[in-house]
Structure 1
């Protein structure tokens, strides 16, 4: 497991890479600085083509909240900083409507320097109220993906897709967002939304940030809609582990784009999907 050092010089380089003004391969860096460039560099790059990364923070026993729904302090301070760095490097952040209603997230970048991503909510039935925090006008793009003809406030972009049993197809969602110029996307939550994109094989990468606490019960991080019955059929991504400080992040490569970016090193051959 490699510790990372995200100092101002490293972060300025990553932001320059995001703008197409620099690269992650040049310069003199310490081992921990190189680890930070390896972890965040593939998200900052725009020469790899469309990328979809999912990030989830959970406890040691795989929980993302308590039985009462308290999820505020699952991730430690370094885990939260990691999430905000990822937001700053992607074009848009996607969440499901249940997460939007329960957590009222702002989806802004506050714990590091960098631009706010487009805020995107998957809301098939149009349940999200127009005064939700992520729909507030602040100069950042706001997008609602829905299956109903529900009007939204001026400035909020609406993507209308056909649904099936109140579910929207991950492939169609990504295609529609890419058509709007959003190439690098992060699926931030919740666990059900991430699991649906994972099972649909639409993720380039998956990052699981684990905090050192035991909750004992509560919602699990990832629950696949159609779980495998045999371990031999399980998804076995190539994985690297990085120490963030308060948390540990497992960075998983899920398709050829991630592997082309050099992720991961010194790992077993990947089984990217069930046959």
Structure 2
């Protein structure tokens, strides 16, 4: 990994987590990550992130999503991993992308990896089950788990069901009890949407890439509404990542 001009500022942010967070508004890193680092002072915290096209698609119908957004958004996801206690993805993301979910593009320690696989669709051949760079938890429906069970190098953790999958609020409670209160939910669209619908996201980051797919898998999908008054209208912040624009929604600010 080649040195970056802002490496010293980034390391200072990491070193200050949970204590005095730099708040230099003129520094882009402080402006973006300072409030997120400071949030750990106030209890459990969850941030979702998706990259989408201009027409709201996160992948083709076959699941191809690399690389929809650019290099700066990729670096951003690694930095989000570095400040998180745990990074969480759904089974579909593991099936289609086979991600490592580790910190490689910036300074920082890789978080605990959490895979949501309620019906145990993953066969254990994916990298997260064999790569010991970071601990891995697999959350499965309680009726499909056995005490002390492992899947490869990953620990199998039972979780209660909710509507359409595992209960997002219970997932947060389970992870907080394990000392993992600061959660980065990296995808995919179904998983992030379930957390949002359950009111289990504090913030949602959507990076919009200047591309139109015209078809494919949608970004956020929530229960249908009939009146615009029922729509979510969070406070927002905007950041430019090269050709992409990241909009961060704050639901509890």
TM over 0.5: yes
Instruction: Compute the displacement of 1:109 (Å).
Output: 1.1
2:128 is equivalent to residue 134 of structure 1: yes
Cα shift at 1:144: 0.7
Give 4+ residue runs of structure 1 displaced > 6 Å after superposition.
Answer: none
Question: Mind listing any 5+ residue stretches in structure 1 that lack a counterpart?
Answer: 260-275
What is the SS of the residue equivalent to 2:93? Answer: helix
Q: In the alignment, which residue of structure 1 is the partner of 2:15? A: 16
Which of 209, 212, 217 pairs up with 2:210?
Answer: 212
What is the aligned residue count? Answer: 245
Matches of 2:11 and 2:230, distance apart in 1: 42
Secondary structure in 2 aligned to 1:47? helix
Could you say which residue in structure 2 is the equivalent of 1:73? 67
RMSD of aligned residue pairs (Cα, Å)? 2.0
Deviation at 1:163, TM superposition (A): 2.3
Where does residue 57 of structure 2 map in the other structure?
63
Describe the superposition over 1:202-223 as per-residue Cα deviations: whole angstroms up to 9, x where unpaired: 1010000111111111111111
Q: Contact 1:16 / 1:22 at 8 angstroms: preserved in 2?
A: no
- In 2, the alpha carbon distance for the partners of 1:214 and 1:55 equals 19
Q: Could you tell me which residue of structure 2 aligns to residue 36 of structure 1?
A: 29
Helix, strand or coil at the partner of 2:155: strand
Q: C-alpha displacement at 1:227, in angstroms? A: 2.4
Alignment of 1:109-128 (within 5 A): 109-128=103-122
Distance 1:6 1:235, change over 3 A: farther
Structure 2 CA distance, aligned partners of 1:97 and 1:239? 29
- Give me the whole-angstrom Cα distance separating, in 1, the residues matched to 2:231 and 2:116: 27
Please say if 1:195 is aligned against 2:193.
yes
Q: Counterpart of 1:82 in 2: which secondary structure?
A: helix
Q: Distance in 2 between matches of 1:197 and 1:40?
A: 22
**Distance in structure 1 (CA, Å) of the matches to 2:202 and 2:5:** 23
Which moves more between the two structures, 127-136 or 116-125?
Answer: 127-136
C-alpha distance in structure 1 between counterparts of 2:179 and 2:70, whole Å: 33
- TM-score, structure 1 length as denominator? 0.83
Check conservation: 2:189, 2:220, Cα contact below 8 A. Answer: yes
